[in-house]
Structure 1
């Protein structure tokens, strides 16, 4: 288990029924890898969409990070499967841990979310 912490406030988007939760990640708790280079994540934005009568679904996560040389990177990952009715199965656990962390911080505005 990663020792993740975050701060931020959920924001409602007007163009669709979704909640975007911003999380600032504690340095050293996670590493992003892109094209064989490692980056320290700084920020994650998780978008949840309303699933009708069921729980909210995690739709997308966007992460921003920096390499040791100061190079910045942004990564975006689609979280729903190709039929858009559930989570994408092949994603690594740390992504879902960040999503669960974001969902916890959005719980007080009525979001219900179940970790896949």
Structure 2
């Protein structure tokens, strides 16, 4: 392949979104919905920065398998209903996953701090 690239990449901070996927050890994380357990094996965390504001985690999409072997997905929205801060009722484990993804995202310039607990 003959390929030539010039210039330096610069992130656009107008309305930037980055998704970071992390694989999870099967059996280490379980989501229960309507009494049924699902083994989570992957999480996709979406970070966003609007108008050069600090990066924020918007949502986590989980991929999981049920007892019947069927794959399913779950999405946890991380902004509160007013979209002015983090959701206070999100499980602590979700924020741990966001922190793990943010560690990987640091390689591309994302800096992230988990929201404080009141």
Classify the TM-score, shorter chain: 0.7 to 0.9
- Counterpart of 2:21 in structure 1 is 22
Query: What per-residue deviation string (whole Å, max 9, x for no partner) do you get for residues 28-81 of structure 1?
Result: 221111221111101111100104454211101110100232022210111011
In 1: Cα distance, 2:81 partner to 2:73 partner: 23
Give distance in 1, aligned partners of 2:72 and 2:44: 14
After TM superposition, the structure 1 = structure 2 runs for residues 8-19 of structure 1, keeping only pairs within 5 Å, are 16-19=15-18
Structure 2: how far apart are the matches of 1:84 and 1:51? 13
- Aligned partner of 1:115 in structure 2 is 114
Residue aligning to 1:85 = 84
Runs of 4+ in 1 over 3 A off after TM superposition: 51-54
TM-score, with normalisation over the residues of structure 2? Answer: 0.79
Q: Which runs of 5+ in 2 are unaligned?
A: 1-10
TM-score by length of 1: 0.80
Look up the match of 1:41. Answer: 40
d(CA) in 1 for partners of 2:40, 2:89: 21
The answer to which structure, 1 or 2, has the higher relative contact order (CA under 8 A, 6+ apart) is 1
Bigger CA radius of gyration? 2
Match of 2:63 in 1: 64
